[in-house]
Each structure stands twice: as C-alpha cells, then as structure tokens.
Chain A
Amino acid sequence: MRPLVLALLTAALAPAATLIQNATLVTVSHGTLEKASLLIEGGKIAALGPDVTAPAGATVIDASDHYVLPGIVDCHSHLAADSINESSVAVSSMVSMEDVLNPEDISIYRALAGGVTTANILHGSANPIGGRCTVIKMRWGRDAERLLFQGAKPGIKFALGENPKRGSKPVHPGSRQGVNDVIREAFLRAKAYQAAWKDYDAARQAGRRALPPRRDLQLEALAEVLEGKRLVHAHCYRADEILALIRLADEIGFKIRTLQHVLEGYKVADEIAAHGAGASTFSDWWGYKVEAYDAIPYNAALMTRRGILVSINSDSDEEIRHLNQEAAKTIKWGGLSEDEALALVTLNPAKQLMIDDRVGSLDVGKDADLAIWDGPPLSVYSKVLTTFVDGEIFFDRELDRQRRIELTLEKQKLLEELEGKKPSAEKEPAR
C-alpha cells in the first residue's frame, strides 16, 4: 500500500507554499472568518485573514463555500497499534505504545478522511497502571518514527473501575479500593527508586564507590510522572473512583493530566476542576456496563460549565471518523456554543496533550494541520475534502478516487502474476 499511496501523493505534496482562499476559516481560537484566506509556508500557518495573498509559486486552492477547520485532535485512540494491552500485570508502565506502532494501519487513512490529524495513542485499560502512551500525527504512508508527534510530552495510561478488576487473580486487584491501592503502592516503590538513584548519584559525586541501581523501566515511567515529565491519562467511570484517584494524586504529589471517559465526571466536576485535571469523554455512549449506566450526554457540557478543560474522544477507529458530529451533540445536550463544541475536538484536546502551541486552532505559527470541509463542520451534511498535516496533503477526495482506481488495477495485476487470475470486468471501484 505504501509505495502506491506515495506514488500518488508525492507529486502533489509539500509545495513551498499553499494558499487556501475564499474560505470560511473556523479558527476555534478567535472566531470564524468569512471569505478569508490561509497561507501555508514551510508546513506552518504563515498568515490568515481577509487580505492574505499568494506568494509567487504558491499553490492556490479555491475554497469558496468551503470551511477550514483545524485538524481534529483525538485524545483517546488505539489506532495504529499492533498490541494494546499488556494485561498480565497490574502495573505495566514498562511497556510503550511506541514499540508497537503500525504506520500501515488503514485506520490512519480513514481518520484523515474525517479531518483528524493528531491522536493520543493509549495503552488499554486492563491494569491500574498501564503502559506508556504516545501522541502521533496521521502521516499516512510514512514509517513509525515519522508518525510520532515530535516534542509532545509522553503519557501513561491509568485505569480505574471495572476493567482493571476483570483480570486474573492474584495478579489483579478485585475492588476499586484495591485498584487505588495498587497505584499507591507503585508510587511508593517509584519514590524509593528515585531515592536509590539519588543516593547513588550522591555517592558518585562524593567519590564513594557504589553499585549502580538497576534501571527499572516500570518505575522509571512513574518517576517521570512524579517529576512532571509524563502525563497521566486515567481511564475512569464512576464518581467515587475519580475522587479517590484525585485524592491519592494530591497526597502522593502528582497531577492527573486527563481523566479519560470520566462518564460520571459531572458528579464530581468541582473536585476535578480543583485538581486541574482535564476530562476527555464520549459524546453519548452509555449503558454498555454498570459503570456506564449513569453516563449522560450532557457530561461534556456540564463539566465545561464547571470550569474543566474538556475534550470529546473516540476510543474507536470508527468514531474517530466523525468526531465533528460527536462534538455537535454537546450543543444539543447541554447547550454549548458552536465554538465551545468545536474546541472539544480541536483546541481542548491539544491543550490536554500540551501541544496547543503547535496544533488545535488556526493561528499564525502553528503547524498547518487542517482540513477543508465542504460545509459547516458541525453539520451531518458536511464531509472532508482535503486534509493537511504539516502543510502536506495526506487525504484528498479527488486523489482518493484515483487511489481506488490505481489500487484496483494494481491488485488485478498482482493477482494475475501470482495466481494467474484473469481480470474480472466487474471489479471497477464503487462510484
């Protein structure tokens, strides 16, 4: 797949400058600009406004009647991962999603077709403390290393509630209290680990002989959390477990960057806001398990009103394709404004991942990660026409049409070569 896609795209990619003109620019950060233009240079947004013109040699895209939205940021995804859960232990902070990224996952391409440009790739929820997470950009067709969002802080997954309780005993805890206790115990060990290294370094500085402590990948990640170098994304559902984790974090001295799912976040919104945790939730999923029975579609809106930084995530290779629509649901259920709703899938998740200096809104100097939509992005009637990452086109509906034809022809050729199959007349791509 990769060579084919590249073959199709490279010609069109990365011109020195691209001007998208006559568009409705939905900046998310500073309102919506009608009949405006946006200039991309060197992979960044170089200018935007009503009077921006194309420099010599720039590619000009006319986007009359079209909308430009910042690339959607999904704060919770498992796409492009060949392995999701290391469920064999209660604390799997030694494992890293970076080790298992699959840049050929077709879900990346499909997410681009939904206007998504960045996602937080999380470990699963089988353990109270799960694996290390990583933020990627949807650079479809590139290798795993090029998927990484350079400069994004690494993360780690925690999980509370039913999922981490489901594992086999005696490895896994059997109660919410036990889950909390596992996390506490792990951090106590991480503190001891920090102390051991401190002692060693001190001994070395003082010229004393000492044996090096072991580098422990499991505890190292937790030490990084204590040092603020790694963001905690905690899967949670019920208000009690959310509150208990907040209190534990306060006591131990680490911050929860985001509460994930957090379907009962609305019940302890003030406590979440006071801790400073963000909340990344579903739009309207509920009822699939007991801890999702009190989920309400007003959750995002209510938490927003209580001062929490909220995002809507997908946790699904399918849902990620229409996060714009999921955001729209918060207007219906809870009365957020259009800008507030759009921020839930762009600027807010970017802030939660601490990459809002780079992505999440249309602002000069930010990465040119954006999509052109054929209508208002909150409408069910709109679809993505073109998606840019770092100013390069990674999805385009017209190119997609070509890609399908190429793909069909290429497959026919290979089938003939490999299996002597005759091409069938019926294999024209749909539409």
Chain B
Amino acid sequence: MMRPIALLVMGTLAASAQTILIRNATVHTLAGEAPLEGASVLIDNGKITGVGRGLRAPKGAEIIEAKGKHLYPGMFDAFSVLGLAEIGAVDVTRDVSEKGDFNPQLEAVIGVNPESEHLAVARANGITHAVTAMTGGVMAGQAGVIHLDGWTWEEMAIERGGPLFVEWPAIRVYSLSPGQSADSKRPTTFKAAKEKYDKEVAEIVAWLDGARQYAKAKQAGLKPGEVDRKLEALLPYLAGERPLLVHADREREIRDAVAFTEEQGLKMILLGGEDAAKAKDLLAEKSIPVILGPTQSLPPREDDAYDAVYAQPGELAAAGVKFAFATFTASDSRTLPYEAAAAIPFGLPKDEALKAITRYPAEILGLGDRLGTIEEGKIANLILTDGDPLEITTQIEGLFIQGKAVSTDNKQRRLYEKYRARP
C-alpha cells in the first residue's frame, strides 16, 4: 500500500499500521555515520527494526515513499510543561506547581492532559517527545518523560518517575524600591542573603538526611503508619538511580550545586545554567550534563556581550560539556529547533545543535538506549521533512511516535483552513 506524503500532513492516515517501511529517504541516523542517501527505515511494533539501503517491506507493511525527503529522529524538548499547562494566564488550566516547598512525591506525568492542544501544535513542528515537569518550591516533584501522543498519560509516559526537579537556592541581595521594607525574604545585605541561602541549603540537607534515616528504618521494617511518602520518594535519587534536575543560573550557585550533589552522592543534571559557560571546566570535569534555558533569551546583565546567550552552547560544546536544548514552556515547544539553531551562527557546530535536540537529551536522561537516534531497537519516534529541520522554512511532512504515523493536524491548522475558506 502506497501513500503520498501529503496525506500525512492532512492527517487522514489511520494510525493502525503496525509495520511501516519508509523508503528512499535521506536518513539522518545521528548515530555517528554520515546521512544515508536513498535509505529505508523499517518500523515494527513501535520500534525501529531496520535501517539501510535495500530493505524490503514485509507483507502487509505500509510503505511510505520518501524520495527527496529527510528522515530524522523526532525532536526531544528536554524541559517543558507540555500537557500540564493550557492557558498561561488562567491558573486553573495549569498543573505545574503545588503548595509547599518539598513535594518529591508528586509525579508530573499524572497531570498530563492528552487532549492538550499544545501537544498537537508541538507535534506539527516535529517535537515527538519531551520532559514535562512541575516547578516551584524547592523539590517540586518528579518530572515525566512523555511521547507527545497517546490515548492516556499512561500510554504517553516513557518514564513515569523521571528526574526530580530541585530549585537550587540563590544568593540574592535586594535593593528595595520605595515603600518596600526589608524583611527576611528580601535581604538587602550580602551577609543576610548568604545566611538565608545557607539556611535553605541546610533544609535540603535535612530532607536528604531524613531520607537516609528513613531508608535505614525501612530496612529494619516499617509499620504501615510509618510510611512517609515524601522520604520514600527520595530514595531512588539517593541511590543514584535517578538524577536530579537542579535549576541554577549563576556561576556561584552552579558550582555550589555541583559540589553539593557530589558530596551527597547524587546524580545531577544542571537545568537552566544561564552562566554555565563560566563553570564549563567544572561541568566537563565532573561530567555534569546541562539542559539549557532558551537560547533566544536576553543576556542576564547589561554589560554582557549581546550574543552571550547565543554563544554559550558553542563554548560548552568546545569544553566538552554535554547539553540539550529545551523551551521550558508548552506553547513555544514547537520553537525547540530554533533554540538550537540560534547557537549555530555563534559557534555551535550544526550537527551538535541537531544532536542537542535529539540524541543528547535522551542520553542525559538515561534514555539513550531507547531514543535519540535512528538505530535498530530504538523507539520509532521519527520525523520526515523536506529539508533541514533547523531551518524555519522546512516543513514537517510526516511524524511517527512509537511507530505510528501521527497526524500533524491541529487546532491551528483547522482554524486556518476554516477561515481561509470564509467566503
């Protein structure tokens, strides 16, 4: 059965086929070798089962003719609120934070709304999977990793309990505007700010120590009433089974967080990292990966170079720091490729940019064996394009999530068609 590409775009493809052969494409595997011209990729039961030239379609397989097209791994937004937030200004449509500062037991993924319009909008530009996370407080909860398609959040979840979001405290000295009075929340001297910071760090230590105590007690045997869900939730992180997503921007705080997690025996991913390049040698030495805040951001300080944020990924790459790009939003998730592309004119090699929205985030999150490249055995999250996916004018012509062709149709497209046809 042959199906023209255009139909994929129109979203009429039934998503039932289990076996698909995409053939004659330029396949960008990102697995190390040069793009394979005129190659095919075989998908079966959600996984990639073959990559190369001369692959044959098994009986009953759907064949997608992709001559002149490019096949890439689907894009991975390494930090977002996809599925958790619908309308920015309407709080009741947002499930991105909980009251209280320490909520390590919360799982972001169980709040993902599979019908969120943002998922379809992101898909239309080639985003196939994402970290979706709660923020706020200090330990905001466990980020989820999701496919941007599925009937339920459970089907969408790649990892139910992902990395723990930790807002690293910051030393912030406030200058008060008229009418404001100094209080413990707004220290006006470095001394007071440092004291506040030390206290906040000590609080994190107390939670971790509490969890260690709890682990011991648990070994000794807990009665049902003694189960503490928050401490319980910290155990996989203490055991180094899962990483912490540590949000920090300033150099001093980044260095502190690295030293802290090392001392505590925790696995750390730096999140945000506005000044990460200033600590690049440390990050490289300690192999701390980074999920960078949006590249299309203003430099944090007036005297920073105009291209400070654009140039940082290139500096990190040169220093050997592994990083991924992310949008930190739901509605702008579709701009992920441009966050990567924005770093290229300022020093980031193009293939590194592409890997930082596909392969590297998968590796950073411990999913490198399942996602990020086009290789046998990986989950078939793929995009078919008419060109370079980092270029804005490139069209996404086909999208596959867990081996199923998923429509790139969405609310916006429908509104467009509707009003284009207004007499």
The distance from the CB of A22 to the nearest CB of chain B, in whole angstroms, is 21
**Residue contact A383 to B296, C-beta cutoff 8 Å:** no
Q: Which B residue sits closest to A296, measured CB to CB?
A: B412
With A266-B419, A296-B415, A302-B420 in contact, do A325 and B89 touch (Cβ < 8 Å)?
A: no
Residues from chain B with a CB closer than 8 A to the CB of A269 are 419, 422
Interface residues of A in 304-343 (CB under 8 A from B): 305, 317-319, 321-322, 325, 328-329, 331-334
Q: A188 to chain B: closest CB distance in Å? A: 32
Residue in A289, A296, A322 whose Cβ sees the most chain B Cβ within 10 Å: A296
Q: Is B338 an interface residue (CB 8 A)?
A: yes
Q: Mark A288-299, 1 if CB is under 8 A from B, else 0.
A: 111001111110
Taking a contact as CB atoms closer than 8 A, the residue among A293, A302, A318, A430 that contacts B297 in the complex is A318
CA distance A334 to B416 in the complex (A): 9
**Contact assessment for B415 and A404 in the assembled complex, using a CB-CB cutoff below 8 Å:** no
Asked if B303 and A407 make an inter-chain contact with CB atoms under 8 angstroms apart, the answer reads yes
Measured as residues with beta carbon below 8 angstroms from the partner, the interface class of chain A is: 35 or more
A411 contacts the other chain (CB 8 A): yes
**Contact indicator per residue, chain A 263-274, by CB within 8 Å of chain B (1) or not (0):** 000110110000
How many positions in chain B have a CB within 8 Å of any CB in the partner chain? 48
Contacts of B413 in A (CB 8 A): 296, 298
Report which of A109, A297, A329 forms a contact with B412, defined as CB distance below 8 A: A297
Name the contact of B338 in the complex, choosing from A109, A296, A380, A382 (C-beta under 8 A).
Answer: A380
Q: Is B395 interfacial (CB-CB < 8 Å)?
A: yes
> Which of B307, B394, B395 is the most central at the interface, judged by chain A CB atoms within 10 Å of its CB?
B307
B377-419 CB contacts (< 8 Å) to partner A: 390-395, 411-413, 415-416, 419
Task: Assess whether B393 is in contact with A288, with CB atoms less than 8 Å apart.
Answer: no
Selected from B296, B331, B346, the residue in CB contact (under 8 A) with A288 is B331
B342 touches A293 (CB 8 A): no
Does A287 interact with chain B (Cβ within 8 Å)?
A: yes
| Contacting pair A379 B391 (CB below 8 A) | yes
Which B residues lie within 8 Å of A290 (CB)?
Answer: 87, 89-90
Smallest distance from the beta carbon of A387 to chain B beta carbons, Å?
11
Q: Which residues of A contact B305 (CB under 8 A)?
A: 400, 404, 429-431
Check B416–A431 contact: CB distance below 8 A: no
Find B393's partner among A298, A322, A328 (CB 8 Å cutoff).
A328
Q: Which of chain A's residues have a CB closer than 8 A to the CB of B335?
A: 284
Task: Determine if B131 is an interface residue (Cβ-Cβ < 8 Å).
Answer: no
Q: Closest chain B residue to A338 by CB distance?
A: B393
Confirm or deny: A110 has a beta carbon within 8 angstroms of a beta carbon on chain B: yes
Q: Known contacts A287-B88, A296-B412, A298-B416; is A325 also within 8 Å of B302 by CB? A: no
| 0 or 1 for each of B300-342: is its CB under 8 Å from A? (1 = yes) | 0011011110010001000000000000001110110010011
Contacts of B341 in A (CB 8 A): 380-381
Knowing A285-B331, A332-B393, the reply to whether A431 touches B296 (Cβ < 8 A) is no
Does chain B have a CB within 8 A of A106? yes
Q: In the bound complex, what is the Cα–Cα distance between A305 and B296 (angstroms)?
A: 30
B298 within 8 A of A: yes
Task: Check: A392 CB closer than 8 A to any chain B CB.
Answer: no
What is the bound-complex CA distance between A286 and B415, given in angstroms? 13
Are A113 and B306 within 8 A (Cβ)?
yes
CB of B336 to closest CB in A, whole Å = 12
B137 contacts the other chain (CB 8 A) = no
Let me know if B274 is at the binding interface, CB within 8 A. Answer: no
Q: Is the CB of A331 within 8 A of B347?
A: no
Majority secondary structure, B binding face:
loop
Say yes or no for B118: interface residue by CB 8 A criterion.
yes
Specify which chain A residues have a CB less than 8 angstroms from the CB of B390 in the assembled complex. Answer: 380
B392 lies within 8 A of A381 (CB): no
Cβ-closest chain B residue relative to A429: B305
CB within 8 A of B87: which of A267, A285, A289, A302?
A289
Contact in complex: B416, A296 (CB < 8 Å):
yes
Q: Does B62 contact A (CB under 8 A)?
A: no
Is B95 interfacial (CB 8 A cutoff)?
no
Q: How far is the CB of B32 from chain A (nearest CB, A)?
A: 23
B44 interface contact, C-beta 8 A: no
Whether B412 pairs with A298 at a CB distance below 8 angstroms is yes
A296 vs B121: C-alpha distance when bound (angstroms): 10
A287 interface neighbour in B86, B298, B419, Cβ under 8 Å: B86
Partner of A109 from B89, B306, B334, B350 at Cβ < 8 Å: B306
User: In the bound complex, how far is the Cα of B417 from the Cα of A298, in angstroms?
Assistant: 10
- A380 to B394 CA separation, bound complex (whole angstroms): 11
CA distance A333 to B410 in the complex (A): 13
Residue among A321, A328, A378, A400 having the largest count of chain B Cβ atoms under 10 Å: A321
Q: Choose one: B90, B118, B342; the contact of A380 (CB below 8 Å).
A: B342
Of B277, B332, B350, B394, the residue contacting A430 (CB under 8 A) is: B277
B315 to A431, Cβ gap below 8 A?
yes
Q: B311 to chain A: which residues have CB within 8 Å?
A: 430-431
**Sample of 20 more A-B contacts, CB < 8 Å, known A294-B411, A328-B393:** A110-B299, A113-B306, A266-B415, A267-B419, A285-B331, A287-B117, A287-B330, A289-B89, A290-B89, A293-B87, A296-B412, A297-B412, A305-B420, A319-B296, A325-B338, A374-B345, A378-B393, A380-B341, A380-B390, A382-B345
Interface CB pairs A-B, < 8 A, 27: A109-B306, A113-B306, A113-B307, A266-B416, A285-B331, A286-B331, A287-B117, A287-B331, A288-B331, A289-B89, A294-B411, A302-B419, A302-B420, A318-B296, A318-B298, A322-B296, A329-B392, A332-B392, A334-B416, A380-B338, A380-B341, A380-B345, A380-B391, A380-B392, A381-B391, A400-B305, A430-B315
Which chain B residues have a beta carbon within 8 Å of chain A's beta carbons?
86-90, 117-118, 121, 277, 296-299, 302-303, 305-308, 311, 315, 330-332, 334-335, 338, 341-342, 344-347, 350, 390-395, 411-413, 415-416, 419-420, 422
